[in-house]
Amino acid sequence: MPTLTVQLGTRSYSIHIGAGLLARAELLEGQLQKDAVCIITDDNVAPLYLHKLSQALAAFAPRSLVLPHGEPHKNWRTLDFIFRFLLKNSFGRDATLIALGGGVVGDLTGFAAACYQRGISHIQIPTTLLAQVDSSVGGKTAINHRHGKNMIGAFHQPLAVIADTATLTTLPPREVSAGLAEIIKCGLISDEDFFLWLETHVQELLALDPETCVHAITRACEIKVAIVSEDEREQGRRALLNLGHTFGHAIESALGYGEWLHGEAVAAGIAMAADMAVRMDWLKAAEYRRICRLLERAGLPCKPPASLTPMRILEHMRRDKKVRSGRLRLVLPKGIGQAVVSDDFDVKMLGDTLAGRPV
């Protein structure tokens, strides 16, 4: 079982990756207190794994709370539902929340832990591929605001992350593809060899071959962990992890959250960032085609939805958290295996990318 460590001084923690870890309560040894554990999950995941996890943690007499599933619920209303439950059940500052589910459950639970009584502990048990390789790692938590995705949130590191790859077998294929988008992104921004490996293993990943999955998740987490350990609060290099996300968030927010999966929007965003990079002469046209081909083979889109006009996407991009002094900043690939943050591009160029004009 691979175990990675996120090095953040007193807030360092482990990421355990492997099949069947959900039932391995000993991984959380010493991190929980009896009568002070609350498992938070959603109505998709609860019927599948809540009983198993509750059983494994029976010694701590955990309570559990089931949220409605999906991105449209990643908002204040659901957060308040969590707060109400915690207060009514007299959870104190010694409580630990356990997020059992995908990115939405993880983000909501993490942000609830960040704010409840000014901060309590939490543990991430991600059950989707996207959450295992991305959202559960690194301490970013948030809710959406109707004026922008992930606009309200906190950096709040978990006590531990447990990625049980056996939970991926119950994922709809569309969600597997969505997770692959973030894995492909990791290769693209910092590891050409991994990108190449993905090109030769994408079929096994879609088929959820256990060993191939563990390798891909581990490598993606390693890449993310290396960056986060260096720049926890995104003052610099961490922004690279947002490749495809400025376009992607704009697509999600313009379409209405939940219409496209986050990973699907990111995939289109990666392709658009690559298209921009070709216009900037940072990427060869052949590399752009390789990127699109890998995304397509992973079952992902390479273009924004036809229903969105370029203006509409741009309007939502302007609300990105990377905007500084009113200037939009984009993460763009420089070849395969490297990326940069840049605000040094022509607006016309961006317009051409958004409109899908040929390079």
Q: Which residues are catalytic?
A: 118, 140, 182, 224, 234, 238, 242, 245, 249, 262
- Whether the Cβ atoms of residue 46 and residue 110 lie closer than 8 Å to each other: no
93-112 residues in contact with a second copy (CB under 8 A) are: 93-94
Q: Taking CB under 8 A as the rule, which mask of x and - marks residues 174-213 in contact with a second copy?
A: ----------------------------------------
Given the rule CB under 8 A, which of 83-91, 161-169, 196-204, 206-214 is the region that contacts a second copy? 83-91
Which residues, 6 or more positions from 342, have their beta carbon under 8 angstroms from its beta carbon?
Answer: 280, 329, 330, 331, 332
Question: d(Cα 19, Cα 211) in Å, to the nearest integer?
Answer: 9
d(CA 257, CA 307): 15
Rounded to whole angstroms, the Cα distance separating 117 from 213 reads 38
Task: Assess 347 for contact with a second copy (CB under 8 A).
Answer: no
330 binds a second copy (CB under 8 A): no
Residue selected from 12, 33, 55, 309 as contacting a second copy according to rule CB under 8 A? 33
Which residue, chain included where needed, has tokens 């294929």?
173
Asked if residues 301 and 270 have their Cβ atoms less than 8 Å apart, the reply is no
Residue 326 lies near a second copy (rule: CB under 8 A): yes
CA 68 to each of CA 42, 77, 79, 98: distance values in angstroms, whole numbers, following the listed order: 5, 11, 11, 16
Distance CA 334, CA 332 (A): 7
Tell whether residue 313 is a contact of a second copy (CB under 8 A): no
Hey, is 203 helix, strand or coil?
A: helix
Shortest Å, Cβ 15 to a second copy: 21
Question: Is residue 315 a contact point for a second copy (CB under 8 A)?
Answer: no
Residue 82 or 336 having the CB closest to a second copy: 82
**Smallest separation, CB 161 to a second copy (Å):** 19
What SS3 class is residue 119? Answer: coil
Is residue 334 within 8 A of residue 340, CB to CB? The reply is: yes
Which amino acid does the sequence have at 145?
H
Q: Which x/- pattern, by CB under 8 A, does the window 221-250 give for a second copy?
A: ------------x-----------------
Contact between 152 and a second copy per CB under 8 A:
yes
Token digits of residue 299: 């079952």
| 334 scored as a contact of a second copy (CB under 8 A) | no
Helix (H) or strand (E) holding 187: helix 173-190
Q: Residue 314 interacts with a second copy (CB under 8 A)?
A: no
The closest of 47, 108, 58, 46 to 81, measured between CA atoms, is 108
We find the least distance from the C-beta atom of residue 117 to a second copy, in angstroms, to be 5
Name which position in 26, 147, 200, 286 contacts a second copy (CB under 8 A): 147
By the rule CB under 8 A, 9 interacts with a second copy: no
Q: How far is the CB of 82 from a second copy (least distance, A)?
A: 10
Where does this chain bind a second copy (CB under 8 A)? 33, 35-36, 76, 80, 83-84, 87-88, 90, 92-94, 114-119, 140-142, 145, 147-148, 150-155, 233, 318-319, 321-326
